[in-house]
């Protein structure tokens, strides 16, 4: 508990004759995390070099590229296939050899046709765009080009031009200015262009077309429509191919991915001309299985041994070792950083505390039921995504916590349940008839509870900080780190005891009445001062500059009051929504129902639904982000380092193909 799975480091050495069966068996077991061999030229690995892929890797890679290209064109993935029978490997390999080339050729031909047609559409669209300014011109386009002594200018100017030389002008007022075409003698061209530039001429190229612009545009639009029909036919053919071969393509992709990973595995091994060696990690509980399996497949012609590990801090990969209900929370750990092998893994604690914090913020049966429905209803949108499913499970756990705290707080969309609050009430009196007026709120008590959560959470973080230091540090620095964490605990609790000795606070020990020892100071005051001074000394012993961070103790503890403050804002929004929609709009109309009153009742219902929908969204954000912040910022910074390497065993979990 609170530790990753224990790992053992194995060295496997055998002759190259055993390379393929060992690779196949390691892949099948899917428990061996390979440490890639890197040529460093050290004495330990003298004579070894990186291995070469197994025979046939090029062919497998070529087929895999084809399949992935087709799958990409079809937009299909293995996550879209559920409840299908697993394909027989041998039969599938024969189909790949026999059917894949024909499918690839057909798809490639269709894709090529579609690309050509799409290029044609773009070409016609560009022509239409070039012709559009000439729409309505009383002359065919061929009259604007092809002269030896006359030049034509086309473009947009801000106002009608006045041209002093002999010319032919056509003008057309458009949205972005006046479009003109001007025909002048070549010798007058420069002067005319200069005069037009004064009118901010924006020249356009004259299309080399024959016929009127309007007729040409209509013709091109007709051609585009025809091409779209051809593309639709091609898309229909591709949809048919996709429907027919989707399972074959995805199962082949899975099979060839497994084959290519095995074929290229020697690139991660150290090899000589006659032998190879590979180093990797397996869960300690699986070491015997590796020994026995490799001995069996190689008939004893393999040397496998467990290597001694000098420093566990950086070497072993990290595999979580948590109960099932904690697995969704591993998503939040990986977002922050996976723990190092030797440090405390807080996933289990976070999987318990995070939903509790969420429930404290959004403790309402109604909102909890909505979130619970969402956690199941949205699963189809994250189908095939491990992270998406983890997130939905976190939402499910948090919604259950919301419902439980809703029962405790007696809240249902801001209304009271038939029973009163089983714990402290969060109801706020809003409006003369609001339900919240029926229960006396206990906001100060709830704030004190949130401070207690902060004190205990941070204290645990510092204890784990000392524990991590004892595991991960060495020599003198180890004791400094450990005692510094103890110092932080003493400082925090020293401040707390000093406060308790001077001020009685509800739900906290009252130390103000303890007997005085000297100078009007009682036992608690002196004890708190001693703890504070001793703690400061221990912190300064490790790093004096850390004393500047001492004020953050108070701010970090008080930061936990957000659990109640954010929750109260949600309660207030719910109560105000109910008061406005029901108390001010619906109830008065029900007393004397009129046609106008019916409309107002509908408005009240809309306000009710919109207000609670908005409050649900805010509840998800507030309930989700604030507990996450308290863990990442206030809690993890006391002990957590992260940076662990993910355990990534050599192999795969087959979904569509049978294991050899």
- Asked, for residue 109, whether it belongs to a domain, the answer is no
Burial-class residue 465 by CB neighbours within 10 Å (0-12, 13-18, 19+): buried
Q: What pLDDT does 314 receive?
A: 65
631 and 492 fall within a common domain:
yes
501 and 375 fall within a common domain:
yes
- Asked, for residue 301, whether it belongs to a domain, the answer is no
Q: What pLDDT does 646 receive?
A: 94
- Asked, for residue 138, whether it belongs to a domain, the answer is yes
Where among 215, 235, 261 does a domain terminate?
215
The range of the structural domain enclosing residue 598 comes to: 327-638
205 and 349 fall within a common domain:
no
Q: How many domains does the chain have?
A: 2
460 and 589 fall within a common domain:
yes
Q: CB of 252 within 8 A of CB of 91?
A: no
pTM of the model: 0.79
Q: State whether the Cα torsion 390-396-400-401 is positive or negative.
A: positive
Q: CB of 654 within 8 A of CB of 254?
A: yes
Burial-class residue 320 by CB neighbours within 10 Å (0-12, 13-18, 19+): buried
Residue 78: partners with Cβ closer than 8 Å, 6 or more residues away: 250, 253, 254, 384, 655, 656
Q: What pLDDT does 430 receive?
A: 66
210 and 331 fall within a common domain:
no
- Asked, for residue 426, whether it belongs to a domain, the answer is yes
- Asked, for residue 118, whether it belongs to a domain, the answer is no
Q: What pLDDT does 439 receive?
A: 63
- Asked, for residue 39, whether it belongs to a domain, the answer is no
CATH number of the domain encompassing residue 177: 3.30.70
Q: What are phi and psi of 449, to 5 degrees?
A: -60, -45
563 and 419 fall within a common domain:
yes
Where among 181, 215, 249 does a domain terminate?
215
30, 81, 265, 392 from 60: Cα distances, Å? 21, 23, 14, 37
DSSP result, 575-622: HHHHIIIIIIIIHHHHHT--HHHHHHHHHHHHHHHHHHHHHHHHHHHH
Q: What pLDDT does 436 receive?
A: 45
197 and 338 fall within a common domain:
no
Burial-class residue 122 by CB neighbours within 10 Å (0-12, 13-18, 19+): exposed
- Asked, for residue 241, whether it belongs to a domain, the answer is no
Beta partners for residue 415, in sequence order: 412
Q: Which residues of the chain have pLDDT under 50?
A: 432-436
3-state secondary structure 325-379: HHHHHHHHHHHHCCCCCCCCCCHHHHHHHHHHHHHHHCCCHHHHHHHHHHHHHHH
Does an H or E element contain 49, and which?
Answer: strand 49-50
Where among 168, 196, 215 does a domain terminate?
215
DSSP result, 232-299: HHHHHHHHHHHHHHHHHHHHHHHHHHHHHHHHTGGGGSEE-SSEEEEEEEEEGGGHHHHHHHHHHHTT
209 and 334 fall within a common domain:
no
Residue 475: partners with Cβ closer than 8 Å, 6 or more residues away: none
- Asked, for residue 66, whether it belongs to a domain, the answer is no
Closest to 107 in 3D by CA, of 257, 237, 230: 237
């Amino acid at each position: 508990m609170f530790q990753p799975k224990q790992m053992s480091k194995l060295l496997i050495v055998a002759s190259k004759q055993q390379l393929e069966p060992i690779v196949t068996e390691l892949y099948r077991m899917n428990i061996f995390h390979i440490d890639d061999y890197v040529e460093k030229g050290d004495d330990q690995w003298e004579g070894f070099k990186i291995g070469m892929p197994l025979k046939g890797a090029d062919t497998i890679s070529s087929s895999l590229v084809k399949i992935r290209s087709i799958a990409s064109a079809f937009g299909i993935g293995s996550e879209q296939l559920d409840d299908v029978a697993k394909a027989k490997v041998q039969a599938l390999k024969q189909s790949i050899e026999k059917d894949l080339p024909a499918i690839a050729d057909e798809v490639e031909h269709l894709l090529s046709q579609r690309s050509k047609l799409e290029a044609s559409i773009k070409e016609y669209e560009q022509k239409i765009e070039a012709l559009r300014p000439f729409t309505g011109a009383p002359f065919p386009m061929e009259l604007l080009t092809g002269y030896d002594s006359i030049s034509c200018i086309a473009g947009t100017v801000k106002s009608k031009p006045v041209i002093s030389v002999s010319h032919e002008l056509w003008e057309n007022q458009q949205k972005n200015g006046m479009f003109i075409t001007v025909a002048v003698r070549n010798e007058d061209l420069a002067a005319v262009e200069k005069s037009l530039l004064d009118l901010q001429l924006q020249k356009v190229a004259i299309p080399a077309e024959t016929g009127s612009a309007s007729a040409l545009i209509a013709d091109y639009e007709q051609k585009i429509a025809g091409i779209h029909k051809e593309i639709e036919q091609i898309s229909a053919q591709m949809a048919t191919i996709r429907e027919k071969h989707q399972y074959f393509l995805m199962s082949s992709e899975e099979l060839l991915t497994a084959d290519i990973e095995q074929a290229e595995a020697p690139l991660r091994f150290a090899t000589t001309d006659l032998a190879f060696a590979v180093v990797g990690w397996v869960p300690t509980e699986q070491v015997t299985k590796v020994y026995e399996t490799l001995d069996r497949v190689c008939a004893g012609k393999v040397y496998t041994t467990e290597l001694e590990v000098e420093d566990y801090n950086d070497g072993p990969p990290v595999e979580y070792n948590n109960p099932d209900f904690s697995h969704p929370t591993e998503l939040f750990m990986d977002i922050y950083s996976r723990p190092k092998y030797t440090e405390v893994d807080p996933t289990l604690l976070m999987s318990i505390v995070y939903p509790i914090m969420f429930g404290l913020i959004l403790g309402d049966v109604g909102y909890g039921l909505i979130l619970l429905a969402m956690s199941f209803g949205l699963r189809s949108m994250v189908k095939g995504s491990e992270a998406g499913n983890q997130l939905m499970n976190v939402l499910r756990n948090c919604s259950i916590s919301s419902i439980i705290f809703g029962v405790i707080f007696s809240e249902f969309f801001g209304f009271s349940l038939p029973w009163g609050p089983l714990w402290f009430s969060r109801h706020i009196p809003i409006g003369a008839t609001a339900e919240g007026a029926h229960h006396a709120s206990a906001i100060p008590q709830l704030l004190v509870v949130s401070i207690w959560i902060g004190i205990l959470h941070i204290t645990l973080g510092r204890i784990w900080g000392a524990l991590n230091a004892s595991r991960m540090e060495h020599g003198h620095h180890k004791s400094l780190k450990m005692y510094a964490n103890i110092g932080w605990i003493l400082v925090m609790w020293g401040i707390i005891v000093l406060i308790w000795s001077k001020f009685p606070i509800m739900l906290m020990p009252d130390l103000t009445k303890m007997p005085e020892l000297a100078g009007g100071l009682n036992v608690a005051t002196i004890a708190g001062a001693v703890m504070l001074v001793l703690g400061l000394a221990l912190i300064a012993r490790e790093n004096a500059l850390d004393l500047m961070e001492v004020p953050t103790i108070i701010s970090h503890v008080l930061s936990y009051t957000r659990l109640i403050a954010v929750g109260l804002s949600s309660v207030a929004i719910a109560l105000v929504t109910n008061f406005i929609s029901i108390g001010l709009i619906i109830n008065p109309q029900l007393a004397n129902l009129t046609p106008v009153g019916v409309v107002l009742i509908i408005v009240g219902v809309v306000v009710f639904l919109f207000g609670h929908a908005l409050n649900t969204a805010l509840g998800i954000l507030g309930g989700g982000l604030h507990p996450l912040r308290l863990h990442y910022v206030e809690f993890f910074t006391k002990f957590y380092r992260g940076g662990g390497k993910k355990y990534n065993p050599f192999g795969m979990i087959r979904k569509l193909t049978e294991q050899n």
